[in-house]
Structures are given as structure tokens and as C-alpha cells.
Chains A and B, each alone.
Chain A
Amino acid sequence: MLEGVNDPVDNPGSGLVRSRTSRTRRNLGLAALVLTPLLLSSCTVPGFGAASGVTDASHKTYKLWQGFMITGLIVGGLTLFLIVYAALRYRRKSDAIPRQTQYVTWIEILYTVIPTIIVGVLFYVTIVVENPEVARVAHPPAKINVVAFQWGWRFSYPGYPNISTVGQTTQNPVMVMPVGETDAVTLTSLDVIHGFYVKEFNYSEYAQPGVTNRFDLHVDKVGSYQSQCTQLCGLYHSLMYFKVVAIPAADYHACLTSASDGATFVACAEKALATAGSQMTATVRPTQGALSHHG
């Protein structure tokens, strides 16, 4: 960085050269210190609080998250180190006025160019993950219509007009999805803006009046995923629950064709979920006594 020497009067020229070399060595050592444990433990990169989730896109998003977190920790850690180091190393030792350096042009260029490159890479990997995530297949094997309203959800299945599930707040309506197939979701709202969010999908999107959003989800794990609305929608926003039940695709289609209405469909799906055996990872939340109207 800058000439940190306090008495360049003795040897101004070589002072610059000397500290630049030691600075480079220090930076390399720093990089090694940070990267080595990361590389050594690259078998298990930490999740930093997020999870890989249960859809195709969620896995890629998770990896993107890990990459961003590592980059952020390195850049942030380096900057934090520099702040704390400068604060401690250059704390006042005398009343002497230090060297009044104001510009070191090559350093300023360096810390303009390097962040630009980093940011360019981050943007590129973002696009790599984002484009498949927002893409929609032409002929989805499964379709579902999601309608949000104050304060509940309605799920209906195009092609099966008898089958629709409606529920408000703690009734916790169930959204059934196939595992291993792309499910084309259509999302809208009857009144205000609501947020369709499933943590295990690493995904959310707004349900808006007058707008029909379309996105694809490809779930790859059987299970039950408790969710709720995430966009402020009025008085019972905190209680606008819904649950996703993901069952093997064959069971999904079987239930769809055999069910007579929404209730039987959901019952069939729950049964398929229960019998999905050791592959099932339940993320079922304890519901006894917890789902009660409040306020």
C-alpha cells in the first residue's frame, strides 16, 4: 500500500522499494493463510447458514451462495484486516506530523480494477445460475395454479377441474407436487401482493393482482415443506401458512386421476408421502397446539 515508514528522510527512494517488496510478501502470506484452510477443507465447504434445498435450481443457488460467501469473506476479511491493522499500527506515538501523502495513483488504479474484475465474475456466475432458474419448459408434465388471497391459498390443477384445495391461515392448505418432474407454477393474487416462498426451494416470488407469474420448479426430494406468505398483506400476514407435499411422480399422477375432489387428492398424497419409506426426509413442523389463532 503506502509507504508506511516513519523516517523517509534517511532513505526516501529505497524506502519505497523496500516496503513494496515486503508488502507483496505480506499480501501473499495473507492470501495463503486464508486460502489454505479453505482448500484443505474443500471437501466440505460450509453452508454459511443456507441449505442445498430440494430442487434442481436450489442446489445451484446454494453453490452460488457458497461462492459469494467465500468471496465476501475474503474481500471483507481483507478489508477488515486492513482497517484494524491500520488503526492499531498507526496509532499515535508522538506529536510529529506524519508524511502528508495524498495520492498513490497506481494503488488507486489497482483497487478500482480488481473489484471491477471480481464484480464481473460475480455477475457472470449469477447469470449462469439465473438463466436456467427463470427458464420455462414448453411442455411441462405437471402444472399447478396458485392463487393467494387475504389470508390463504388456493391450489388447483389444470386439467382436473374438480380438484382444488383452499385454506386460510392456520388451516394450512396443502400444495401437492411431483418429485422428479418439472412442475409449471402459475401464480397470482386476488387482492393485495403476497409472497410465495418455500425455504427448501431457495425460491420466492410475488403473487400480484392483475399479474400472472409463471415459473418452473423441479423438486427432487420427497417430503413435506412447511411454508408461509412473506410479503406483508394485512392483518393475518403472520399466519398465512401453506404446506408443500412432494411425492413421487407416479403417485402424483395416480392420485390426480383417482381423486374426486381436493380433499381426497390431498389425503391420497399424504398417504403416498407416508409410504414413501426410508427415502422420505420429513421437514414436517410440529403442528399440535402450535397452529392457533392469535390476536
Chain B
Amino acid sequence: MVDVLEPQTHAHDDHGHDEHHGPSGIMNWLTSTDHKVIGLNYTVTSIIMLVIGGAFAMIIRAQLTTPNGSVVTLAQYNELFTMHGSVMIYLFAGPFAFGGLANYMVPIQIGAPDMAFPRLNALSYWLYLTGSITMLLGFTVAGGAANFGWVGYAPLSDALNAPGAGADLWIGALLLTGFSAIFTGVNLVATIFYLRAPGMTMFRMPIFTWNMLVTGILILLAFPVLTAGLVMLYADRHFGTHIYDAHHGGVPILWQNIFWFWGHPEVYILALPFFGMVTEIIPVFSRKPLFGYKGMVFATITIAALSTGVWAHHMFTTGTVLLPFFSFMTYLISIPTGIKFFNWIGSMWGGQINFTAAMLFALGFLITFLIGGITGIILASPPLDFFTHDTYFVVAHFHSVVMALVIGGMAGIYYWFPKITGRFLNERIGKTQFWFLFLGSTLFVMPGYLLGLKGMPRRMAVYTLHPEWQHLNTLSSIGAWMIGFSTILFVINFLKTMRSPKTAGPNPWDAHTLEWFTTSPPPHHNFYALPNIRSERPTWDYYHPDAPALTHDDHDPSHMPGAAQGATK
């Protein structure tokens, strides 16, 4: 029996939709195609991956706290940082961003009953889960897990240098998670193109949805390239080909070109969803519309377009790339990113800012990403890259950026938690978690920049020749442990909250977008009723018809909020 959703213009009294007559218990979990269930699956699994990757980081930092550490052996260390990076990027950041909150929120934000292809959505999750298990299985096989860095450069990843099953498990895991991502990309684009509610034109979509649309397109453009590269690597390892093998006429640099052609769009695939979350949160807690909505949309599209053309800025030191082209393109990306920053500031300007935990996390994101972005500009200059590449300067740069994403992700969780569960995460614990996460991130990265400038290379198990680097490394480790502690606080908050009663109504933050129009949590197929959609803030317009967004030259006093008689709640 096909399912029909009839949009209603009045409240629906019959709440029979609430009763799920389908399978229950574990069968429900195995067979659910509901985007909300799948989104939560992704979120929980990815946060488990965050904790696993974080545990690896804690061991790495323990090893690096002394110059000649013996917490792990050299071989184990290579596995640790490889798996730390791989778990964090392939198994946490991506899936959390486009499989977790996006899966849950995008259909609701556009007034759709589900994703366009619910069964494909479920398949995406199972491929992701099995891919995660596959990668971690590397620790159980002879030879250990993959140990050639999360980037897997040939020839280090070929059959000669990485002979064990751990490397093949890594490749296999990436094939599974790669297809998982591709299917999610298909779902995102199809859903956003075809399932929007009446009246929701493209330029009335929430910015989070816009960002997810662009992310979905980027996934479709980039991931197949990685898949192809991985298949070729597997072929080199097992089918006797010599694609990346210099000793038989192959080209090792081809791996780098292919990998980074995927790799740079990948970091924007990771970043754009979190940009989107923060862009939703800042206007809501400033009680203003997003400043420069159209500019934000165009900036996002420009970033995506440019991101396909900058890949070789990861390869400046290979001596084989066209330096000025990639340097120039990389500089160009900073312009739309700057536009976003000023739009975020503009959204706060003149507002009435409420410092909830979500807003604090959003501000922490801004500041941390600013640091990462500025150091990215430095790295875009080849002469400056020549002496910082492969040092802790780069490590600090990308950790600035990814910690910003984690902080932004926490903002998204705190913001949408009441919508998803009907409960509020504890604000006091949340704010404490924020300070540990934000200050810990800063304390972690700042010594890293200095260490890189002093010449400390990355992927070093020991720095025996330079005991004077120990103090900075110890500071960095303390920052990392603060981050770890903040994660514990989050888990505590989560467990405590799930035991507390459901107190959240449909729109506790007086927010703007459609998901805040429906109940908390949303019913099966998401909406009993939909409002008329005439702007990018349908829920705000419904509750505050007297406070529409203004263009800058609108000085009509009667357009001031509250000027009209009896502003509704």
C-alpha cells in the first residue's frame, strides 16, 4: 500500500499516525526506512566513531608528551595516526555531517514526508556501518591496521610496502563508505529538487538545506573519483597491475592527483554542513534574519565550484604541479569564505543575542575556524608551504578547522536536540563542555603552529633529537585531554537528559525554519499541518507576522517589529 501524505491547512485531530503498526524492536531497527531513524542511527554511530578516533588521539598525545616516548612502538604509532585520521574523517565527520543531522533535518526543513529514496537511504546507513566495522577490523588481523596515513599515498600503500590485510580492509572500508556517501548524495539532491513543500522556492529554502544541496552535488562529483583511485590501488595490490608503480612504468603521483581531487572537495563536503548548522543558529539566537541570505547562497556555490580546482595545493612540494594556478585558485576560495564570516557577524549585529549553549558553540566555531582559515591562506602560498608542509604547522591548521567543525556540530546537536527528542540538553553542563572544548582546541593547536615552525615534522613517533620541543608538545597534549574531557561531559549530558521528562514544545527557540513548526519530536511523516511559505522564515512569519525581514533601505517605521498592533507570540 503506497503511502499518501495529504498536506493540511488545519490542525489534524486524528493522531492515529502516531501508532506504528510495523515491526517492533530489533526488526524495526533493521527494516526502518524512516529518515529520522536513519539519521539518528548515523548520528549515534558517528559519535561512537568520534570517541574511538578520540581515544587514538589520546594515545598519540601520550606518546608525544616526551621526546622518546615508549607508550607505543614505532609500528603501532604509524597505525594509530593512520586510523585516527581515517576514523575521524571517513567514519565520523562525513557521516555525521551528511548522514546524521542532515538526513534527519533536510526533509523536515523543506516540508517533505521523507527522503526521496527511503530504502536507498537505509542502504546508505548499512554500508556505512559495515564500512566502519571493516576499517576497525584492521586491528585484529596479522600485520595490524592500515599504517600509511589517512591519505594512503602510493607507493607506501602498495603490496610491497603494506602487505597485510589491514590495508585491504582500509580500502574495502572506503569502498563501502564511499558508496554510502554517493547514495546519500543522490538522496539529498533528489529530495531537495523534488520534494519541497508548496511555496518553498529554491531561494526560500533554509540555508542548512542549501548547504546540504551543494554538499550533495559535491559528493556526486568527488566520491566516484576516490572510488576509481581505490579500485586502481586494489588492482595494483592484487591483480598485478602497475598503475602506481614507478619501477614498471607506473606513476605514483597519479594517486596523489586522484586522491586530492576527491580530497579537497571532501573537506568542503565536511565543512559545508557545519557551516549550514551555524548559519541556522546565529540568526535564531540573535532574533534577526540571516544577513545576506543570497550572498550566503552564492558564496556556498562558489566555494563548491572552486573547491574542485585547488586539489594540488596539497602537492606543492612534489615539484610536479603548476604552482601559480593552484595558489591563485586557493586564494580565491578565501573570498566567499570571508563573505560568510561577515554575514555571520552581520546577523548578530543589532540583534538581541541569547547566549544559550548552542549559540556559544556557534561563536566558538566562528573563532576557531577563523584561525584555521587564516593559516590556510598562509599555506596557499607555495614558498610558505615549502617550509610548513608535513610539519606540525599543517597539523595545527587542519585541526583548527576540524575542531571548529566539531564545535559547530555540538552547536547543531544542542540546537536540534529538543526538536528530535522533546528534551533540552542541560545548559549548564553544555556551557561547561563548550569552554573545555573551545579552550582545549585552542590550547591544542597553538603550540602545534609553533612546533611546525620550529621544524617538527608530522607523523613522528619520537622527536629524540629535539628534547626542547617537549614543553610545547605537553601543552598541546593538555589541550587534547581537555577536548577528551569535554566529550565525556557531553556523554554525561546526553545520558542525564534522556532520563528527564519531555518538556520541549514545537518551537522553544522561537526559530525561523519549517522544522520548528511541527511537534517535538515530529510525527511519522513529519507534519500534521504546514503553514503558507512566503519567505525563508515560514515559522517566524507564522508567529511574528509583524516582523518580516527588511531590505536595508526600508525605513518605514511601521515595518519595525512591534509597530503593528498586538504582535503575536
Stretch at the interface among B208-216, B316-324, B404-412: B316-324
Cα distance A99–B343 in the bound complex, in angstroms: 16
Most buried by A among B73, B253, B290, B544: B253
Stretch at the interface among B47-55, B183-191, B551-559: B551-559
Cα distance A101–B548 in the bound complex, in angstroms: 9
CB within 8 Å of B: which A176-234 residues:
187, 191-193, 195, 197, 199, 201-206, 208-211, 213-215, 226, 228-234
Which of chain B's residues have a CB closer than 8 A to the CB of A237?
78, 459-460
Q: Is the CB of B381 within 8 A of A193?
A: no
Nearest residue (CB) in A for B151 is: A232
Q: Is the CB of B346 within 8 A of A107?
A: yes
A167 at the interface (CB under 8 A from B): no
Determine which of B247, B253, B294, B552 lies in contact with A208 in the assembled complex, contact meaning CB atoms within 8 Å: B253
Nearest residue (CB) in A for B336 is: A112
A49 at the interface (CB under 8 A from B): yes
Chain A: interface size category: 35 or more
Given A80-B370, A238-B74, decide whether A230 and B334 contact each other with a Cβ distance below 8 A.
no
Q: Is the CB of B155 within 8 A of A108?
A: no
Cα distance A228–B449 in the bound complex, in angstroms: 19
Nearest residue (CB) in B for A83 is: B366
B23 at the interface (CB under 8 A from A): no
A9 at the interface (CB under 8 A from B): yes
Stretch at the interface among A114-122, A245-253, A261-269: A114-122
Which of chain B's residues have a CB closer than 8 A to the CB of A115?
334-335, 338-339
Nearest residue (CB) in B for A133 is: B383
Q: Is the CB of B348 within 8 A of A87?
A: yes
Q: Is the CB of A100 within 8 A of B550?
A: yes
Q: How far is the CB of B459 from chain A (nearest CB, A)?
A: 5
Stretch at the interface among B281-289, B497-505, B526-534: B281-289
Q: Is the CB of A230 within 8 A of B457?
A: yes
Q: Is the CB of A76 within 8 A of B561?
A: no
Given A99-B561, A241-B465, decide whether A228 and B457 contact each other with a Cβ distance below 8 A.
yes
Most buried by B among A49, A206, A213: A206
B220 at the interface (CB under 8 A from A): no
CB within 8 Å of A: which B318-332 residues:
318-320, 323-324, 327-328, 331-332
Which of chain B's residues have a CB closer than 8 A to the CB of A2?
291, 346, 349-350, 552
B118 at the interface (CB under 8 A from A): no
Number of residues in B with C-beta < 8 Å to the partner?
105
Stretch at the interface among B102-110, B271-279, B352-360: B352-360
Stretch at the interface among B11-19, B86-94, B129-137, B384-392: B384-392
Q: Is the CB of B161 within 8 A of A191?
A: yes
Most buried by A among B331, B386, B461, B467: B386
Determine which of A4, A104, A229, A238 lies in contact with B552 in the assembled complex, contact meaning CB atoms within 8 Å: A104
A135 at the interface (CB under 8 A from B): no
CB within 8 Å of A: which B386-426 residues:
386-387, 389-391
A34 at the interface (CB under 8 A from B): no
Q: Is the CB of A97 within 8 A of B547?
A: yes
Which of chain A's residues have a CB closer than 8 A to the CB of B327?
123, 126, 130
Determine which of B328, B338, B349, B458 lies in contact with A1 in the assembled complex, contact meaning CB atoms within 8 Å: B349
Q: How far is the CB of A17 from chain B (nearest CB, A)?
A: 12
What would 15 more interface pairs be, CB under 8 Å, given A82-B342, A87-B348, A192-B161? A61-B383, A76-B370, A87-B355, A90-B349, A97-B561, A98-B561, A99-B550, A101-B550, A102-B551, A103-B291, A111-B338, A197-B390, A210-B250, A230-B390, A235-B74
Interface residues in chain A, defined as those with a beta carbon under 8 Å from any beta carbon in chain B: 1-6, 8-9, 12-13, 16, 48-50, 57-58, 60-61, 64-65, 68-69, 72, 75-76, 79-80, 82-83, 86-87, 90-105, 107-108, 111-112, 115-116, 119, 122-123, 126-127, 129-130, 133-134, 187, 191-193, 195, 197, 199, 201-206, 208-211, 213-215, 226, 228-239, 241, 285, 287, 290-292, 294-295
